Structure 1
Amino acid sequence: MTTAPLPRHRIGTSELEASALSLGSWHTFDRMDFADAVTMVRHAMDEGVNLFDVGVYAMPGMPPVFTDVLWGSIMRATGAPRDSYLASVKLWIEAFGEDGFGPQLKNAFLRTGLDHADLVILGDLRRDDVRLEDLVDDLSALTRAGLIRAWGVNNWSASNIHALRRIAAERGVDGPQIAQLKYSLARRSIPDGAPFAELFGSGFSMQASDVLEGGILAGRTSPDREIGRDPGSIREAIVATVPGITALAEELGATPAQVAVAFTLTHPANATTLVGATRLEQVRQNIGALDLVRRVGAEELRALVEPFWVDRGVVDPEGP
């Protein structure tokens, strides 16, 4: 148990307030016993977690994925009122067409049982044939229709986020409020760099993701599941830092995972850290990371983990 309530932070300038920790659904709930998942989610909510990432990760031609479908059943089994939590839905630029994001959102609602998304996060920008103006216009229409409340992006460059915000301001509509960014002991160059510092200084928020590098930073150096991309091709170097992280964790009376999660909580613009727990004990440990920050102090913790910053000078702070 924590010694203080799980804090909440405003997402950008929106009306949404997210818990300092959020739970993700990429290959999580589909790796759990259903009853265990219900127990875990109930515990997380009792501790103050209120934001859930429920992206649809089943792509045409790929093996089916049901973690988002399971999440919907899990939430119904918890009995949690819809207004007691925030749901964040992923939308993919690859599938953006003449009907906009509407079909994707409709499919997400079908699979999860949602009737609206509190937050939508646009996936990586991998197309050069989509006008940013069209994205802003479509998301504005979905907002007016009551289907979404706020939106953000996943691993976009600072320049493209500035462009989205400028277009939204010209149209008199809400622009992106948050960027989901890879942020960890090892991957810091983008969120800690000058281009994003300018955005954060204007009230823009971050959601830290991939904080354990697929479990590697928690000590599981040979993951047996699919994990995120490896910008800068530094994963081997990250694995090499694990003994040092483990030693530091022992000195601090914590676990490596707690050190990794605690670090992300020290970033002033980080509204919420996304974790992908699959066991109740992992949720308890992740929540315990807040006590580690309080005990050690944010400035001291950042100094202690400085040697594990692997992508410094390797990845462009501007972002992809």
Structure 2
Amino acid sequence: MTSLPTRTIGPFTVSAIGLGCMNLSHAYLPRPDAAEAERLLRHALDVGVTFFDTAALYGFGANEELLGRTIMDRRGDFTLASKCVLGEIDGKRGLDGSPVAITKVLEDSLRRLKVEHIDLYYLHRLDPKVPIEESVGALARAVEAGKIGAIGLSEMSAATLQRAHAVHPIAAMQTEYSPWTRNPEVAVLDACAKLGVGFVAFSPVGRGLLAGNVHAAHLQQGDIRANMPRFQAPHLRANLALVDQLKALAAQADATATQLCLAWLLAKGGHIVPIPGTTSIAHLDEDLATLSRIWPEDLIAAIDALFTFDAPSGPRYPREAQAQVDTETWEGEPLA
């Protein structure tokens, strides 16, 4: 196994760039077939990725099953993270942060993953019907029972993090963070640093757009990005113009736009671990190559200047999805 630079997330030492496994089974189209997905996962291990992120939601369990049958023979080589609360309820996506539901979903995750212990287990979203203290309490009992090693939160605010951390130490906060989604900089990123909580950045290349992988307004039916305002007219054209400027910066640096996004994130704090997702081995290798270079401060500053908070056009989420996140918004942010 190749050795990559590492960072710390709670009690875990992980590769400085992890792998988000969602789009192998969920949300984005097209998806790889089973053999392609399995090859990607094994390749990631072979080249030194030691942080794999899944969730009960992804494919309504299919993603956990994929990891369970593919890489658990090398369980000692990586840190495994999964999530509960947001998942399948009566055949549809729904929220249930009650202790009873969390306990059941955890048992289902353990079964699908073919393990007796998950290293890091997140509350995927805040269930507004259940006090965060009750949801964290359920996971604290799972820690005591040896079923999980540490507790994480996803898409939650600094205030919620502080309440949760008072019940049980929180190891990680996972939230969307990239040059075109800088909401964590409002409050939660600093809160994580002060509390010693690792920050896991999902969608670090803007759900593929900043990588240059979205070229037209017509995403496939069933791809969740098709319902996101930033991928719809008239916003998409303005956002693609931003991508063109990012590509120009990348060309000057003899790099790719993806690598610039990842380098920018890594420069934002030593407690940050991006988890890009991909269905391509070549793209995964491109991601990891970011770690083999030293990135000049003026290049990072140029990305900052290009992607001000208000530079992206359109709301981050459609109305229903926005209602399910507890993250801070910046002053003047357009909301669906």
TM-score range, shorter chain: 0.7 to 0.9
- Is 1:213 paired with 2:226? no
Choose the corresponding residue for 1:193, options 186, 198, 221. 186
CA separation in 1, counterparts of 2:197 and 2:54? Answer: 22
Choose the corresponding residue for 1:10, options 2, 8, 11. 8
The amino acid of 1:21's aligned partner reads: I
Q: Compared with structure 1, are the counterparts of its residues 159 and 229 closer, same or farther at alpha carbon in structure 2 (3 Å cutoff)?
A: farther
CA separation in 2, counterparts of 1:116 and 1:258? Answer: 33
**Other-structure match for 1:36:** 36
Q: Deviations over 1:102-152 (max 9, x none)?
A: 100111122222221100111122x33212221222111100100000111
Aligned with 1:66: secondary structure? helix
Choose the corresponding residue for 1:66, options 62, 66, 69. 62
CA separation in 1, counterparts of 2:170 and 2:230? Answer: 26
CA separation in 1, counterparts of 2:269 and 2:227? Answer: 25
TM (normalized to structure 2)?
0.79
Q: In the TM superposition, what are the counterparts of 1:87-98 in structure 2 within 5 Å?
A: 87-92=80-85, 94-97=95-98
**Other-structure match for 2:132:** 132
Q: In the TM superposition, what are the counterparts of 1:205-284 in structure 2 within 5 Å?
A: 205-221=198-214, 222=216, 223-224=219-220, 225-227=223-225, 236=236, 237-284=238-285
Residues 42 and 70 in structure 2, CA contact (< 8 A), matched pair in contact too: no
5+ residue gaps, structure 2: 87-94, 316-327
The amino acid of 2:300's aligned partner reads: R
- Is 1:180 paired with 2:174? yes
Aligned with 2:178: secondary structure? coil
Matched residues, number: 298
* Structure 1 segments (4+ residues) deviating >4 Å: 228-235, 312-315, 317-320
Identity of aligned residues (%): 25
CA separation in 2, counterparts of 1:253 and 1:111? Answer: 42
Q: Compared with structure 1, are the counterparts of its residues 115 and 231 closer, same or farther at alpha carbon in structure 2 (3 Å cutoff)?
A: farther
Q: Deviations over 1:159-205 (max 9, x none)?
A: 11111112x2xxxxx321211111111111x3223453143133122
Residues 8 and 271 in structure 1, CA contact (< 8 A), matched pair in contact too: no
CA separation in 1, counterparts of 2:129 and 2:306? Answer: 38
Q: Deviations over 1:38-85 (max 9, x none)?
A: 3322332232211111212268xxxx6623222222215xx42x2211
CA separation in 2, counterparts of 1:149 and 1:247? Answer: 43
Aligned with 1:129: secondary structure? coil
Choose the corresponding residue for 1:19, options 15, 18, 28. 15
- Is 1:203 paired with 2:204? no
**Other-structure match for 2:309:** 311
CA separation in 2, counterparts of 1:204 and 1:233? Answer: 32
Residues 99 and 134 in structure 2, CA contact (< 8 A), matched pair in contact too: no
CA separation in 2, counterparts of 1:95 and 1:44? Answer: 32
CA separation in 2, counterparts of 1:106 and 1:286? Answer: 33
Q: Compared with structure 1, are the counterparts of its residues 116 and 65 closer, same or farther at alpha carbon in structure 2 (3 Å cutoff)?
A: closer
CA separation in 2, counterparts of 1:193 and 1:160? Answer: 14
Residues 150 and 176 in structure 1, CA contact (< 8 A), matched pair in contact too: yes
Deviation at 1:304, TM superposition (A): 1.8
The amino acid of 2:276's aligned partner reads: V
**Other-structure match for 1:117:** 118
The amino acid of 1:186's aligned partner reads: W
Greater RCO between the two (CA within 8 Å, min separation 6)? 1
Residues 15 and 49 in structure 2, CA contact (< 8 A), matched pair in contact too: yes
Q: In the TM superposition, what are the counterparts of 1:125-164 in structure 2 within 5 Å?
A: 125=126, 127-164=127-164
Deviation at 1:312, TM superposition (A): 4.3
CA separation in 1, counterparts of 2:301 and 2:15? Answer: 25
Deviation at 1:273, TM superposition (A): 0.9
CA separation in 1, counterparts of 2:52 and 2:184? Answer: 22
Residues 120 and 149 in structure 2, CA contact (< 8 A), matched pair in contact too: yes
CA separation in 2, counterparts of 1:11 and 1:118? Answer: 11
**Other-structure match for 2:54:** 54
Residues 263 and 290 in structure 2, CA contact (< 8 A), matched pair in contact too: yes
Question: Over aligned residues, Cα RMSD in angstroms?
Answer: 3.0
Q: Compared with structure 1, are the counterparts of its residues 218 and 9 closer, same or farther at alpha carbon in structure 2 (3 Å cutoff)?
A: same
